[in-house]
Amino acid sequence: MNQQREVIKGKSIIFFQFLMLFIFYFFVGCIIAFVLNGVYNALENRDAFIHSIVIGSIVVPVFLTLTFLVSSVFWVIVREGKKD
């Protein structure tokens, strides 16, 4: 019975970790979509689109780098957890 609880606990922890990773991916995707939408709207309205492009060229690589780092840490944690 105790071993079964440990298995359920381990699976629920992995599930919540995957859920948090998915939510983070969704968050980054929304930020990138927001920046691209700002560039599109600025071009559509013949506004000063260069400001949107400058902000986007800073924000998008930062969040893509953050996504890579979070994913790398997550997969190392999962891999190390399976060894035990």
69-81 pLDDT tens trace: 999 998 898 888 7
Taken in order 43, 48, 50, 52, the sign of the CA dihedral is negative
For the chain, the structural domain boundaries read: 2-83
For residue 84, what pLDDT is reported?
62
| 3-class SS of residue 46 | coil
24-59 pLDDT tens trace: 999 999 999 999 999 999 999 988 888 888 988 999
